């Protein structure tokens, strides 16, 4: 692989221990994927933040890298295993909290912004069309490639940190024009009606598309919450983190004469939702904000909760700056008056929830996957409105 003088110097350790380790990771990756060189990145989004997933080995590695490692580009963090400020109120074990704080402190020592959100594009890490970035959070990778038109592979935790400490990533995969060509045309016969159905569409394409780059033909262009849900589910279920939607994706794709078609009907969406759901009628917990909720989504939830009292626990995850704006607008007060909880820095999939067998209702197909897998919860899937109604009644109808 061809390296510049500056890159050779980092590899030789002239920029310190962490930069050398980071270059070693990138060069090894580049060789595996036959990259010709490294490409400069405009920003990095790091996953691997929850102590629940990292454990002591991960924390120790971060501590070693933080001794002299400093990021060279804007670098933001994925959700942690708890709300970094309100963890006591949420019943987090103090021993876990102490280790989680150490993880975030190690990242901060390297100059990483402790944003702890999976929607960095909603709070200022917003790449331009065509910009190369190195992001790790799968839902954000799909959003960056497909909605913003940026270029990123789906990085792992170590490779994203390595990109942050060097400002570079190997030029392979979705950084290359010929890897961004659509390979399958998806004809969506019925427009999904809510975020759970957009997630169901992502589930169907992910499972049937075989990891190919999809070109979606939709009756109507979707909005931001729909695109968040679609991309999050699509990648979770094995799809490529690049898809094209006419009128949404900034760079029009080069389209081969005829692509193999894949048709998705309303029955397919309904079947996907049925296949994923296994909850009991009584709902213990309702989780919204996966991916993290926008200000408008918080406003919609607050409006539905106004004057009501929830019978089930209701958690809504969002980025801290979004929560602060919502507080100034009185939205958090309305949600809390109804008994709901707005959490920042975390989500129900990465937090250590020990409630096996309990039933959660969510609009998120990705959240459903992790709620069932990591946290052994039973799940109901439906629109945000239906989930909020279930929280108020304490039952799924």
Q: Which residues bind ligand F3S (CB under 6 A)?
A: 78-79, 118, 139, 232, 290-292, 317, 347, 349-350, 366-367, 370
Tell the smallest beta-carbon distance from residue 270 to ligand F3S (Å). Answer: 23
Q: Are 286 and 360 in contact (CB under 8 A)?
A: yes
Helix and strand numbers, DSSP H then E, in the chain: 14, 14
Please report how close the Cβ of residue 138 comes to ligand F3S at its closest, in angstroms: 8
- CB-wise, 205 or 233, nearer to ligand F3S? 233
Task: Give least dist CB 279 to ligand F3S, A.
Answer: 18
Nearer to ligand F3S, 139 or 145 (CB): 139
Degrees to nearest 5, angle at CA 325 with 97 and 90: 25
Q: How far is the CB of 360 from ligand F3S (least distance, A)?
A: 12
Judge whether 46 and 22 are in contact, CB under 8 Å: no
Of 65 and 347, nearer to ligand F3S (C-beta) is: 347
Cβ 119 to ligand F3S shortest distance, Å: 7
CA nearest to 212, candidates 173, 245, 230, 239: 239
Q: How far is the CB of 363 from ligand F3S (least distance, A)?
A: 11
DSSP conformational letter for 73 = S
288, β-bridge pairs: 316
Of 78 and 166, CB closest to ligand F3S:
78
For the CA atoms of the chain, what is the radius of gyration?
A: 21
Residue 119 or 240: the one with the smaller Cβ distance to ligand F3S is 119
DSSP 147: I
Compute CA 131 distance to the chain's CA centroid, rounded to the nearest angstrom. Answer: 19
Instruction: Enumerate long-range contacts of 120-125, CB under 8 Å, 24 or more apart.
Output: 120/43, 120/45, 120/76, 121/148, 122/292, 122/294, 122/319, 122/322, 123/76, 123/319, 123/321, 123/322, 124/321, 125/43, 125/45, 125/74, 125/76
77 vs 272, beta carbon nearer ligand F3S? 77
């Amino acid at each position: 692989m061809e390296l510049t003088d500056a890159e050779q110097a980092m590899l030789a350790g002239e920029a310190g221990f962490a930069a050398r380790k980071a270059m070693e990771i990138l060069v090894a990756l580049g060789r595996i994927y036959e990259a010709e060189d490294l490409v400069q990145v405009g920003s990095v989004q790091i996953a691997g933040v929850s102590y629940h997933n990292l454990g002591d080995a991960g924390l120790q590695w971060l501590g070693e890298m933080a001794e002299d490692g400093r990021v060279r580009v804007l670098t933001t963090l994925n959700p942690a295993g708890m709300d970094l400020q309100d963890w006591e109120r949420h019943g987090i074990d103090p021993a876990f909290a102490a280790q989680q704080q150490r993880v975030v402190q190690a990242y901060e020592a390297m100059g990483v912004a402790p944003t702890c959100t999976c929607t960095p594009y909603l709070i200022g890490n917003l790449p331009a069309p065509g910009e190369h970035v190195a992001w790790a959070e799968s839902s954000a990778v799909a959003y960056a490639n497909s909605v913003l038109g940026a270029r990123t592979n789906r990085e792992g935790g170590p490779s994203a940190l390595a990109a942050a400490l060097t400002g570079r990533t190997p030029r392979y995969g979705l950084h290359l024009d010929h890897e961004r060509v659509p390979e399958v045309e998806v004809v969506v016969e019925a427009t999904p009606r809510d975020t759970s159905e957009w997630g169901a569409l992502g589930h169907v394409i992910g499972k049937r598309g075989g990891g190919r780059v999809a070109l979606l033909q939709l009756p109507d262009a979707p909005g931001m919450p729909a695109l968040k849900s679609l991309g999050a589910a699509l990648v979770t279920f094995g799809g490529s983190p690049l898809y094209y939607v006419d009128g949404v994706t900034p760079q029009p794709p080069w389209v081969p004469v005829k692509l193999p078609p894949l048709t998705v009907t309303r029955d397919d969406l309904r079947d996907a939702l049925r296949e994923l759901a296994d909850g009991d009628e009584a709902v213990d917990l309702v989780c919204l904000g996966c991916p993290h909720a926008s200000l408008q989504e918080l406003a919609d939830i607050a409006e539905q909760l106004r004057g009501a009292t929830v019978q089930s626990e209701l958690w809504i995850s969002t980025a801290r700056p979004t929560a602060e704006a919502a507080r100034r607008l009185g939205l958090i007060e309305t949600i809390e008056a109804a008994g709901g909880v707005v959490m920042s820095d975390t989500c129900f999939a990465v937090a250590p929830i020990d409630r096996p067998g309990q039933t959660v209702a969510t609009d998120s197909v990705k959240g459903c996957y992790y709620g069932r897998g990591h946290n052994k919860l039973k799940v109901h899937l439906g629109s945000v409105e239906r989930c909020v109604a279930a929280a108020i009644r304490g039952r799924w109808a």
